[in-house]
Amino acid sequence: MGKTNGRPEVENVNLDLDHELPASSGSAERTEAPAAGAEAAVADSELQKLRAERDSLLDRLARTQAEFENARRRTLKEQQDFRDYAAADAIKSLLPVLDSFERALQVKADASEFRSGVDLIYKQLQTALEKLSLQPIKANGEPFNPHYHEAIEMVDTTAAPDHQVIEELQRGYKFKDRLLRPAMVKVARNPGK
């Protein structure tokens, strides 16, 4: 081998390119193709799993929403039934009073007998309402209480202490410690005290 122009002289070698093995880059492409197919298969199976999980969760969500709506409807119906039957119990306790009024209106009697019958019916009604936890508010002779009394008139008087109820115009009522209606009253205003 000789040198020409500072380069080593390469012998002219005849290469048989038709019978050569493929270059290393070609063999890498062939091994990558099956690897890419395997990755795609894994990605497809993961995608299928995620879709199945999503579908399952959406189904559970739809069922839960339906159960919630059914429970809400059931609760509203139960509350309405409770109110209806609570009113029915109250009305049932008042039926004997209604019966007594009907009997009193059918009897032809004088005024004193009619009065005593109405008094009995009034006591019967009071008893029925007390069983339902209805309580009258005390007013006459009591100090004025704006929580339970509604002052209709202030009356100047020396016969009663200042701010004392001197007359009840309409009775007030409480139901289980809740004010249903305040008592309408006249209240004393005593300028001397």
What tens-digit pLDDT sequence spans the chain (193 residues)? 455 555 555 555 555 555 555 555 544 445 555 667 788 888 889 999 999 999 999 999 999 999 999 999 999 999 998 887 877 878 888 888 888 888 887 777 778 888 888 888 999 999 988 888 899 999 999 999 999 999 999 999 888 899 999 999 999 999 988 999 999 999 999 876 5
Are 47 and 63 part of one and the same domain?
A: yes
Q: Domain total for the chain?
A: 2
Domain annotation covers residue 18: no
Give the three-state DSSP class for 73. helix
- Supply the pTM of this predicted model: 0.54
Are 55 and 66 part of one and the same domain?
A: yes
Domain annotation covers residue 24: no
The C-alpha angle 64, 69, 73, rounded to 5 degrees, equals 145
Q: What is the number of other CB atoms lying within 10 angstroms of the CB of residue 59?
A: 10
Are 84 and 108 part of one and the same domain?
A: yes
Selection from 150, 144, 147, 146 nearest residue 178 by Cα: 147
Q: Which domain holds residue 42?
A: 35-132
d(CA 193, CA 190): 6
Residue 79 φ/ψ, nearest 5 degrees:
-65, -45
Distance of CA 177 to the CA centre of its chain: 25
